[in-house]
Amino acid sequence: MLSKRIIALARSRAAFARNAPSSGVSRTWNAAASHIMRAQFHASHLLQAETVKVPQMAESISEGTLRSWSKQVGDTVEADEEIATIETDKIDVTVNAPVSGTIVEFLAKEDDTVAVGQDLFRIEVGEAGVYRSLMPRLVSDLVYLAPVAPKEDKVPEAPAQAESPKPVEAAPSKEQPTPAPSPKSAPEASKEPKASKPESKPEAAVPSRVPGSRNETRVKMNRMRLRIAERLKESQNAAASLTTFNEIDMSSLMDMRKKYKDEILKEHDVKLGFMSAFARACTLALQEIPAANASIEGDEIVYRDFVDLSVAVATPKGLVTPVVRNVETMNFLAIEKEIAGLGKKTGKLTLEDMAGGTFTISNGGVFGSLYGTPIINLPQSAVLGMHAIKEKPVVVDGQIVIRPIMVVALTYDHRLLDGREAVTFLVKVRDYIEDPRKMHLAPF
């Protein structure tokens, strides 16, 4: 390999230069430099830089915003290593290096809109790219070698200067060890400018935090947030949305969870939560009220025998709804495993993870919400909203008792579901949650 021969040459000449006079060092420098120049000339003609284009992202996505570069020009990268991130209205797409080499040029800037097939960056592939990345190291080694000989010439002069001082007493001997701390003082001095840099950053941020300030900051909405806003407004405009509420006594479900959660965690490495119970309860209710699992396409109603459950997840960029498919075939543990798997992929979800979905569950209770009216995720016909659990006084068998109560809300499309069907659906969910044994007795 060309780069290996250059390194071997530089190291061999470096070893010779350490024992050679200054003239030998200069000859070594000149010889090695000439070799490097010749190697650079030949390597630059061995392989040409390859232009990498914006990859295909999805059938419905033709462009995106270049969010950030993960590397810099001159960095050496391996094949399939992440180079850039492109933000679309649905997901973030990573652009990886097709081959190993060195990045030569960026052809787009951050926050630019880039289209599929557009030139994105150039990479020098193979040995030429690796060689280019090694050049700074070789040059720095040779630069270090050049002053070695002059320093050795000055060393014998130091004792001559040490003989000049007249008082050769214990004091000078004490001063001789003092040069040891002197190098420490040098780094301390070098640290001072580093400390001054971070001090300047807070100063720049101070004006925005001044009490009584009336400054305004404008931040461009990312593509995903824009798309979510469009879909939410589209849902409000297209669907005849109506919301019905009910209260659920969570005592039985909480007791069951408390009793079995440790055992399940130990045997199956799965945390037993409330989402699996609500998912199973909704699935059974959807099978009994098929209109809640249907959708409108043109002038037709599409009924489905399967249940693909969309689970609303809040992310810094906006609300996403990954899908758990064929929930009608799953028990509590299988549902929890699927939801946990999707949770681990948050931030790296693909279009396939979020495509489809016949019914949505949104749990605003994790943030403390007591009441809410969720928005339908078109083209679905209904969405269930869960809320926080609060202890409330309720009447049980003529007695006032304190029970943990959750308020649930069902927003449905009145074009598909009538009030009778919507209320019946929510009552069935309530009954399943208040007595979880019914869910285990229901057929798959």
Q: Which residues are catalytic?
A: 414, 418
Record the tokens describing residue 154, joined without a space: 């000055």
CA–CA dist 74, 311 (Å, integer): 43
Instruction: List 145's β-bridge partners, or say none.
Output: none
Per 3-state DSSP, the chain is made up of helix, strand and coil in percentages (nearest 5) of: 45, 25, 30
Strands 241-249 and 63-69: unpaired
Instruction: Report the distance separating Cα 23 and Cα 333, nearest Å.
Output: 78
Task: Indicate the residue type of 263.
Answer: E
Q: How far is residue 441's CA from residue 236's CA, in Å, rounded to a whole number?
A: 38
Residue 434 bridge partners (DSSP): none
From CA 90, how far away is CA 354, in angstroms rounded? 9
Query: What tokens does 407 get?
Result: 């308020």
Q: CA–CA separation, 360 vs 295, rounded Å? A: 13
Q: Which DSSP helix (H) or strand (E) runs through 251?
A: helix 251-268
First-to-last CA distance in the chain?
64
Contact 379, 300 (CB under 8 A): no
Give which of 400, 398, 399, 419 is closest to 410, Cα–Cα: 419
Judging by beta carbons within 10 Å of its beta carbon (0-12, 13-18, 19+), is residue 96 exposed, middle or buried?
middle
Backbone φ and ψ of 412, nearest 5°: -135, 160
Nearest to 29 by CA among 54, 50, 5, 10: 10
Residue 30: C-alpha distances to residues 11, 13, 34, 349 (Å)? 14, 11, 6, 55
DSSP E strand boundaries for 39-181: 49-53, 63-69, 76-77, 82-87, 92-96, 101-106, 113-115, 119-125
Distance, in Å, from the CA atom of 358 to the CA atom of 66, rounded to the nearest integer, reads 32
